[in-house]
Amino acid sequence: MSKTILVTGSTGYVGTWVVKYLLEDGYHVRITVRDKSKSEKYAFIQKIANDAAGEIEVFEADLLKAGSYNDAASGCDAIIHLASPFTLRFKDPVKELIVPALQGTKNVLAAATASPTVKKVVLTSSVVSVYGDNIDMQEKGLQELSEDDFNESSTETHQPYSYSKVKAELAAWDIAKQQSQWELVVINPAFVMGPPLTTNTNSESIQFMKDILRGKFITGAPYLEIAFVDVRDAARAHILALKKEDAEGRYIIAERVIDFMSFTQLIKSQYPGKYPLPLMKTPKFMLYLVGWAFGLTTKYISRNVGYHFKINNSKSKQDLKLVYSPFEATIKDMIEAMKNLNLIKS
């Protein structure tokens, strides 16, 4: 009999790939949605299941409702918890980011404890739970960032998304220490890019690529370094952490750190003359004047633009045996998939 795995956030950008890989491996996968009657929201997952060795089962659950995951978790062997808001467009960071991330984690882990069959929880955190600003590494006197580091610079008002991720992860570790039924493994992916599986997505990653290809940054790109990883590698990391019995602790999942201008140059090298890409690097002093147009605060600019940082991903390679996709392929596959799904013009 195949193992039963509950996947929260299963219709999200990374979650869809996690479900796809689980189904292809023959797992019985339970997914959660807010309203089962809106089958169009998860029809593409059912289609994947129809062509895979595994089976799918749909449950209703809400991140903010205590006990709503209990039925879905009952009888499961493990839980992969991906559900958490990821948006950079918000009005109330506490209500829209922090509370759902924190309360959702508590509710899902409570469901894990309530189900005596659950032996492992794989939690999706983020690399921004490791650091908040690019300057963090320098301020801490580090040569590189690793799984030993936690974000201590983000707050409700500065980098609230990053703050929501580190708060939720720390809460998860506290809960895990208070019980002995299940083991917790945490995945800390970098900024995820790569091909989406559906048009039914509001992913910030898709919006980010759309903005670049539509010329939002044509007047200039900031010297801003970002850590990236392929969505398929992020999903595979979850599966590897699930399967590997001695997987433990946190795993940074990042293929490389690259600055914004170099990122767009990779697009240019593969699609020369196709898209209105940045023509130059924007000086930092100019960003203080125009950063508001891109949603960048003065504090964000001062603590992130112009600073180099390094991430150590060796644990994911050594323990999980994760083989990373080259970022050049990630970019091309993403653009081609977006074209095929009519998310951008061909």
Which residues are annotated as catalytic?
165
Note whether 172 and 237 are within 8 A (CB): no
User: Which two structure tokens, joined as six digits, stand for 165?
Assistant: 């991720």
- Cβ within 8 Å of residue 228, ≥6 positions away: 190, 191, 192, 193, 254, 255, 256, 257, 258, 263, 327, 330
- Which amino acid would we find at residue 223? Y
Residue 96 DSSP symbol: I
Beta bridge partners of 281: 221
Sign of CA dihedral 316, 321, 326, 327: negative
Note whether 187 and 241 are within 8 A (CB): yes
Note whether 12 and 40 are within 8 A (CB): no
Residue 55, phi then psi, degrees to nearest 5:
-125, 160
C-alpha 291/C-alpha 34 separation (Å) is 37
* Burial profile 100-128: b = 16 or more Cβ within 10 angstroms, e = fewer: bbbbbbbbbbbbbbebeebbbbbbbbbbb
C-alpha 148/C-alpha 40 separation (Å) is 42
- Cβ within 8 Å of residue 189, ≥6 positions away: 14, 124, 126, 127, 229, 234, 237, 253, 254
Question: Roughly what angle, to the nearest 10 degrees, separates helices 327-340 and 204-213?
Answer: 90
DSSP H or E segment with residue 138: helix 136-139
How far, in Å, are 58, 93, 182, 295 from residue 131 at the CA level?
35, 19, 27, 20
